[in-house]
Amino acid sequence: MSSRKISSALISVYHKDGLESLVRLLDRHQVKIYSTGGTQKFIEDLGIKVTPVENLTTYPAIFGGRVKTLHPAVFGGILYRRNVQQDINEAAYYNIQPIDLVIVDLYPFEETVNSGADEADVIEKIDIGGVSLIRAAAKNYNDVVIISNKNQYPLLEKIISEQQCTTSLNERRLFAAHAFDATSHYDTAIFNYFFSGEEIKHFKQSIQHFQVLRYGENPHQTGVFYGRLPDMFDKLNGKELSYNNLVDIDAAIALIDEFSEPTFAILKHTNACGVASADTPKQAYISAFECDPVSAFGGVIVSNRDIDWQTAEEMNNLFFEVLIAPGYEQKALDILKEKKNRIILKRKPAQLPEKQFKTLLNGVIEQDKDLKTEDESDFKYVTHRHPTEEEKKAMIFANKIVKHTKSNAIVLAKNGQLIASGVGQTSRIDALKQAIEKAENFGFTLHEAVMASDAFFPFPDCVELADKAGIKAIIQPGGSVRDQESIDYCNANGIAMVFTGIRHFKH
């Protein structure tokens, strides 16, 4: 018989919000309620009869509340199988009362960790009895209903009201699935708290919040984002975010966070097609757009400054998918919202993970994020001519961009503006050729421009071609067995070159 009537319930929850209406409904259906501690007092204060768990166990809560429900009288009432005669006989012999419904949530372990609490407080928020009760009830879903989250109260109330306090097997199984989700997520959070990263090489992640996307990378692929986007952005306008939008937004955030001065970046398929820093947001946007007006169409735009109405007016001439900024003037919003599908995101302070991972073959690969950003202290001067102060600034600017560009990558820049880039090429010389061609197509002169490379030059051909294009300052990691050939060419032709010792491959 798959239908089961709820005649008794054990209720012990940390969060009491939303509980009152459910308890009153159970009381109206004459369900016998067992409880303990703060939940027992909460129910008693409602004027509803409740039986203390101690009446079942004959033991009080001990060890500062660490042991309350861990007793055969409780777990026997949950776990005994109602259709197995031996279980029925043993329950009768040991006077074990059946418990048909378990409503239990867990101590707020993650919230305590995130609050910065000391380890003693964190340890006390590791739930023992709650996890055990949830797992026991979920295991015996054939006979018992388990409610492991306050968000499930409305559904249970609906079932009780419409089905005369009975549940179906499918309903109990679904609640059990949610229960095991709750306990596995909880255990993963505890593991990651204790996990040192060295001694135990196991990969465990659990994210319970999700957002179904319109589709994946292509319309025939499904897509889901797991996480709390509202913790990071307020969405002020536009259609729902797509998979590709999110990938580009992630790349845009990583790039813009490299800059402290007013900066705009425009990205397509995770690569920057325009980046500029200037004294004002409007000028930064104009300069970023001028880098590549063709690729800017349909792109993702990000700024590290609030958007004023003057900048918004300038931007409104361009079709773009997404705009991200820390704030907006109201007049700017009014202008930008003229396009109803244009996605406008207001960025909020949020802690970002320092690890990244993805599925690969039949497993997962994980690595530290590339958080190294070079400055002048990392420069190793390898040529006779040292870069000027302006060239140094341009080198640092270009190197920040090439770090976030698909390999093999070359970036050409000057005066706080991306001039051109060569991205995702199978050889470094091809990436440079692509960058030079783009710069020429958009009318830029490479005189006084600098070149940045994400990895070393295996041959001197790149410095030779850069010189012929007018470039006289180069920043690269160095490390090739043929570095000296590139250095010799630079010395013979008055080119300043610095090594950083840091490679920035991006695949």
Show which residues are catalytic: 139, 269
CB atoms within 10 A of CB 358: 8
For residue 456, CA distances in Å to 304, 410, 427, 462 come to 31, 11, 12, 10
C-alpha–C-alpha distance, residues 338 and 331, integer Å: 11
User: Cα angle vertex 504, ends 361, 205, to 5°?
Assistant: 40
CB 11 within 8 A of CB 33: yes
Peptide linkage before 408 cis (omega within 30 of 0): yes
CB atoms within 10 A of CB 37: 16
Convert 365-427 into a string of H (helix), E (strand) and C (coil). Answer: EEEECCCCCCCHHHCEECCCCCCCHHHHHHHHHHHHHHHCCCCCCEEEEECCEEEEEECCCCC
What φ, ψ does residue 152 adopt, rounded to 5°?
-90, -5
Write the burial class of residue 82 (CB in 10 Å: 0-12 exposed, 13-18 middle, 19+ buried): middle
345: which strand partners? 235, 324
C-alpha–C-alpha distance, residues 449 and 413, integer Å: 5
What are the CB-based long-range contacts (under 8 Å, 24+) for 92-98?
Answer: 96/72, 97/8, 97/56, 97/73, 98/7, 98/8
C-alpha–C-alpha distance, residues 84 and 53, integer Å: 25
CB 476 within 8 A of CB 500: yes
Residue at token pair 């690890």: 355
CB 252 within 8 A of CB 236: no
> How many helices and strands, by DSSP H and E, does the chain display?
18, 23
Residue 331 corresponds to which tokens in the numbers above?
Answer: 């007049």
C-alpha–C-alpha distance, residues 240 and 199, integer Å: 42
C-alpha–C-alpha distance, residues 249 and 101, integer Å: 45
- In DSSP notation, 201-259 reads ---------EEE-S-SSSTTS--EEES-GGGTEEEEESSPPPHHHHHHHHHHHHHHTT-
CB 504 within 8 A of CB 402: yes
Q: Identity (one letter) of the amino acid at 176?
A: A
